[in-house]
């Protein structure tokens, strides 16, 4: 492990060692100081403030805020929403990437643009569309009401909004990755007699596992943290339709700052864990691709 780490040299070294691509030390350090000050001011301080505010009234108040029934209900609902949205978009993402990366068909670029669409739609609009469809005055409102089915201001609406905003994550990670890998390996497996599922399971999946994991954790982070879209469809019923971000909002608006930041700190920890796993995956994936290159060149 240690030897593997030693062989990874900071790629910046190749710039710093050549006279033609090197700046004077004062230029270098001035740029670093300005860039890092900006980084600290806009990224580090907001992160640190979450934990400082959460612990302002001490650890006892912190834990009391987290085991409060409404907070627990919010945590449970967040896990349910992400637990439904992420697998659904995982299946969709793999199917979309398989169709787009392994086959040629007309309108492919247009399809990729459509898949990316939820990223460019405001979260508030993402929530609104489901109110327009399933709300009391929506297209299906009367029918749903007659059959006593609640979607808006209930859990199904929250799940739908979450699925919408996390829609592209897995697909957009996998499409470029699977395009770059081509289809020779899969074709070889099929020609040698493997069926489609076996080919996918034993040939495709090992090749895309890091990209898949990457897409899943980003998808999950967004699913658990989504605020705007979920806020529109939730109705903010305490203990019933509040996800963690909505619980943060309610507590904050009631001036229960320490409690709001306590719940927020859990979400911040989730964000840090996401970034940690993401960095680890990137390093593993980078090392895997380097090994492939080494094999190819040797």
Partner 1 sequence: MARTARVLPGFGPALGLTLTWLSLIVLLPLASVFLKASSLSLSEFWSVVSAPRVAASYRLSFGMSFAAAAINAVFGLMLAWCLVRYRFPGKRLVDALVDLPFALPTAVAGISLTALYAKNGWIGQYLDPLGIQVAFKPLGVMVALVFIGLPFVVRTVQPVLEELDIEHEEAAASLGAGRWQTFRRVILPVLLPALLTGFALAFARAVGEYGSVIFIAGNIPMVSEITPLMIITKLEQYDYVGATAVAEVMLLISFASLFIVNGLQAWAARRTGRDR
Question: Which region, judged by CB under 8 A, interacts with partner 1, from 62-70, 142-150, 234-242, 258-266?
Answer: 258-266
Start-end of H helices in 123-204:
123-134, 141-146, 155-165, 169-181, 184-191, 196-199
Place of tokens 């007699």: 193
State which of residues 66, 80, 129, 285 lies at the interface with partner 1 (CB under 8 A). Answer: 129
Burial 227-253 (b: 16+ CB within 10 A, else e): bbbbbbbbbeeeeebbbbbbbbbbbee
With CA atoms as reference, report the closest residue to 237 among 8, 16, 73: 73
Return the residues of window 187-206 that contact partner 1 according to CB under 8 A: 187, 190-191, 195-196, 199-200
If one asks whether residue 39 binds partner 1 (CB under 8 A), the answer comes out as yes
State which of residues 57, 61, 102, 154 lies at the interface with partner 1 (CB under 8 A). Answer: 102
Angle at 288 between CA 287 and CA 291, to 5 degrees: 85
The answer to whether residues 246 and 227 touch, using CB atoms and an 8 Å cutoff, is yes
If one asks whether residue 103 binds partner 1 (CB under 8 A), the answer comes out as yes
Min separation Cβ 185 and partner 1, Å: 11
Q: How far is CA 161 from the centre of its chain?
A: 15
Min separation Cβ 49 and partner 1, Å: 5
Question: Which region, judged by CB under 8 A, interacts with partner 1, from 69-77, 184-192, 205-213, 285-293?
Answer: 184-192
The answer to whether residues 229 and 124 touch, using CB atoms and an 8 Å cutoff, is yes
If one asks whether residue 125 binds partner 1 (CB under 8 A), the answer comes out as yes
Per-residue contact flags (x/-) with partner 1 for residues 11 to 30, judged by CB under 8 A: xxxxxx-xxxx-xx--xx--
With CA atoms as reference, report the closest residue to 223 among 123, 98, 151: 123
Return the residues of window 138-157 that contact partner 1 according to CB under 8 A: 138-139
Angle at 246 between CA 164 and CA 219, to 5 degrees: 35
Question: Which region, judged by CB under 8 A, interacts with partner 1, from 64-72, 143-151, 219-227, 289-297?
Answer: 219-227
How many residues at the interface with partner 1, by CB under 8 A? 109
Query: Which tokens hold the place of 226?
Result: 């989504």
If one asks whether residue 38 binds partner 1 (CB under 8 A), the answer comes out as yes
The answer to whether residues 93 and 215 touch, using CB atoms and an 8 Å cutoff, is yes
Min separation Cβ 295 and partner 1, Å: 22
Q: How far is Cα 97 from Cα 89, in angstroms, rounded to an integer? A: 12
If one asks whether residue 163 binds partner 1 (CB under 8 A), the answer comes out as yes
Question: Which region, judged by CB under 8 A, interacts with partner 1, from 57-65, 205-213, 220-228, 285-293?
Answer: 220-228
State which of residues 150, 209, 278, 287 lies at the interface with partner 1 (CB under 8 A). Answer: 278
With CA atoms as reference, report the closest residue to 241 among 164, 151, 144, 166: 151
State which of residues 62, 71, 81, 98 lies at the interface with partner 1 (CB under 8 A). Answer: 98
Q: How far is CA 252 from the centre of its chain?
A: 25
Nearer to partner 1, 73 or 175 (CB): 175
Min separation Cβ 114 and partner 1, Å: 6
Question: Which region, judged by CB under 8 A, interacts with partner 1, from 61-69, 206-214, 227-235, 288-296?
Answer: 227-235
Q: How far is CA 46 from the centre of its chain?
A: 20
Nearer to partner 1, 50 or 208 (CB): 50
């Amino acid at each position: 492990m240690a030897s593997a780490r030693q062989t990874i040299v900071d790629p910046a070294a190749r710039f710093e060692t050549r006279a033609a691509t090197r700046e004077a030390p004062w230029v270098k350090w001035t740029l670093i100081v300005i860039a890092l000050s900006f980084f600290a001011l806009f990224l580090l301080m907001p992160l640190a403030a979450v934990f400082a505010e959460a612990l302002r009234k001490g650890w006892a108040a912190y834990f009391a805020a987290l085991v409060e029934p409404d907070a627990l209900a919010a945590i449970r609902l967040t896990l349910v929403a992400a637990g439904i949205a992420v697998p659904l978009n995982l299946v969709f993402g793999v199917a979309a990437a398989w169709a787009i990366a392994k086959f040629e068909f007309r309108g492919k670029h247009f399809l990729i643009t459509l898949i990316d669409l939820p990223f460019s739609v405001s979260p508030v609009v993402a929530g609104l569309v489901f109110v327009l469809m399933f709300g009391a005055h929506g297209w299906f409102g009367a029918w749903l009401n007659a059959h006593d089915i609640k979607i808006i201001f209930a859990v199904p609406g929250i799940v739908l909004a979450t699925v919408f905003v996390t829609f592209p994550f897995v697909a957009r990670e996998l499409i470029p990755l699977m395009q770059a890998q081509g289809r020779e390996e899969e074709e070889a497996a099929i020609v040698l007699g493997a069926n489609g599922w076996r080919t996918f399971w034993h040939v495709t999946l090992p090749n895309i596992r890091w990209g898949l994991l990457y897409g899943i954790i980003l998808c999950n982070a967004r699913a658990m943290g989504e605020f705007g879209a979920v806020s529109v469809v939730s109705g903010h019923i305490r203990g019933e339709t509040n996800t963690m971000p909505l619980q943060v909002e309610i507590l904050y608006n009631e001036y229960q700052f320490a409690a709001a930041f306590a719940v927020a700190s859990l979400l911040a920890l989730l964000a840090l864990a996401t970034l940690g796993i993401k960095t680890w995956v990137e390093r593993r994936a980078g090392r895997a691709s380097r090994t492939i290159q080494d094999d190819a060149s040797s």
